[in-house]
């Protein structure tokens, strides 16, 4: 039995699949050989098509110019985008919904609105050299000064900073009644004191880089504060929850593509006089992969339904961790098996399994490592009990 998705979710699934197959997947090998870049003109075509199909800013309500999709619908779209390597699917931007909800009219007009329309783009600067898993250990500060704040710090792994024209920076308030609490700020890329200190090379071949960004005496108006002083961590947790669910969805898409491609290859490639797909050792790898993908997909769809139903955020927090943990570990196992099925071809960068084998590794690290997901799940189990988490 296939999962009982609504007709609109099925339609979106088909639309997103066609979009990925037509506008993204054909450019993967070019991207792999050209620092992650699309061929000339292809990115603009993909961005325009995504906007036409309602796939851009899909998490933002329609009345604000977004796609207005339910969580289940966003999940099926993300799954199809997850079938694509080289970060080409990132041409569909989804600004954090919690920032949209917290935005003042000025912030809506200056940052969030243009981001929804695709006229501006953001990056998230939370992690630091001494604070990754333990976000509370950040050393960046925001000190109130007259009618604004002065921000100092150094942020690591700032994804897409080379494409973004503003950063969402997390810092601790220094001084005043909220001293030591977390806050988020909109910081324009061109602000005085913002400097890209270094752009390290990473495992994947993406056009979106992850530079180390220095913030030295960066002065921003008080109007750039998102929400209130002390609310920074709540926004970050909200964003983590959403991203963990979407990472899980993308990992399911990656596994789907890998099983398709490795399965097709196993049907064609002959060894010892017959297709390798007729050997039970190969069949076992495909069978394990499909079984694990099904389990992950059921988790992700059910989790998205729970979001749509407005379930308790604390329970969802634990469930997002379970979905992200399981789906990311599953996809890595599937990629490893796919490389094995492709044999020597699976080690070539022009092969989808080779690229996913490298690219999926980070899904066990970013937005909270697998160890951190386990800690969250264990803590939720201790606090709320098994029935609350899994019924």
Q: Which residues contact ligand FAD (rule: CB under 6 A)?
A: 123-127, 132-133, 157-159, 202, 210, 362, 365-369, 371-372, 375
* Residue with the shortest CB distance to ligand FAD: 132
Query: What is the C-alpha end-to-end distance of the chain, expressed in Å?
Result: 22
Evaluate whether 350 touches 29 at the Cβ level (below 8 Å). Answer: yes
Tell me the C-alpha distance between 249 and 76, whole Å: 7
Tell me the C-alpha distance between 37 and 15, whole Å: 24
> CB-wise, 49 or 363, nearer to ligand FAD?
363
Rounded least distance, CB 200 to ligand FAD, Å? 10
Evaluate whether 162 touches 208 at the Cβ level (below 8 Å). Answer: yes
> CB-wise, 153 or 227, nearer to ligand FAD?
153
**Helical spans, DSSP H, in 274-351:** 280-308, 313-342
Rounded least distance, CB 370 to ligand FAD, Å? 7
Residue with tokens 């160890």: 371
Rounded least distance, CB 115 to ligand FAD, Å? 15
Rounded least distance, CB 112 to ligand FAD, Å? 18
Rounded least distance, CB 325 to ligand FAD, Å? 11
What is the biggest distance separating any 2 CA atoms in the chain, rounded to whole angstroms?
79
> CB-wise, 286 or 320, nearer to ligand FAD?
320
Rounded least distance, CB 334 to ligand FAD, Å? 20
User: What are the CA-CA distances from residue 49 to residues 24, 27, 54, 91, 254 (Å)?
Assistant: 11, 15, 9, 10, 22
Tell me the C-alpha distance between 176 and 242, whole Å: 32
Residues counted in the chain: 391
Query: Of the candidates 323, 327, 290, 293, which has an alpha carbon nearest to the alpha carbon of residue 306?
Result: 323
> CB-wise, 88 or 306, nearer to ligand FAD?
88
Token representation of residue 245: 């669910």
> CB-wise, 157 or 307, nearer to ligand FAD?
157
Handedness of CA 93, 99, 100, 104 (dihedral sign): negative
> CB-wise, 248 or 362, nearer to ligand FAD?
362
């Amino acid at each position: 039995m296939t999962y009982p998705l609504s007709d609109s979710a099925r339609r979106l699934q088909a639309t997103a699949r066609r979009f990925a197959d037509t506008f993204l997947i054909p450019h993967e090998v070019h991207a792999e050989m050209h620092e992650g870049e699309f061929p000339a003109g292809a990115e603009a075509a993909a961005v325009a098509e995504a906007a036409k199909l309602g796939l851009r800013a899909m998490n933002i309500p329609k009345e604000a110019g977004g796609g207005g999709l339910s969580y289940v619908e966003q999940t099926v779209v993300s799954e199809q985008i997850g079938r694509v390597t080289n970060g080409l699917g990132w041409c569909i931007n989804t600004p954090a919904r919690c920032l949209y909800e917290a935005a003042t009219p000025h912030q809506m007009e200056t940052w969030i609105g243009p981001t929804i329309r695709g006229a501006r783009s953001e990056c998230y600067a939370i992690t630091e050299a001494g604070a990754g898993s333990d976000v509370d250990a950040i050393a960046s500060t925001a000190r109130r000064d007259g009618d604004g704040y002065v921000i100092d710090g150094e942020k690591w792994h700032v994804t897409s900073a080379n494409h973004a024209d503003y950063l969402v920076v997390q810092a601790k308030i220094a001084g005043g009644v909220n001293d030591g609490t977390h806050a988020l700020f909109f910081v324009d890329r061109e602000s005085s004191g913002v400097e890209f200190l270094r752009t390290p090379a990473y495992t994947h071949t993406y056009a979106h880089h992850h530079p180390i960004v220095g913030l030295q005496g960066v002065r921003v108006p008080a109007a750039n504060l998102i929400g209130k002083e002390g609310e920074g961590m709540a926004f970050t947790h909200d964003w983590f929850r959403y991203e963990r669910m979407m990472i899980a969805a993308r990992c399911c898409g990656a596994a789907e593509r890998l099983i398709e491609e490795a399965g097709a290859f196993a049907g064609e490639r002959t060894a010892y006089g017959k297709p390798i797909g007729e050997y039970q050792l190969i069949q076992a790898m495909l069978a394990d992969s499909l079984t694990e993908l099904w389990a992950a997909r059921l988790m992700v769809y059910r989790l998205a339904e729970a979001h749509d139903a407005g379930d308790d955020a604390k329970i969802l927090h634990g469930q997002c961790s379970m979905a992200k943990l399981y789906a990311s570990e599953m996809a890595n196992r599937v990629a490893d098996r796919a490389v094995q099925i492709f044999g020597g071809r699976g080690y070539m960068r022009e092969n989808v399994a080779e690229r996913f084998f490298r690219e999926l590794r980070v899904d066990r690290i970013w937005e909270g490592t697998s160890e951190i997901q386990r800690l969250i799940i264990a803590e939720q189990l201790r606090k709320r009990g098994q029935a609350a988490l899994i019924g």
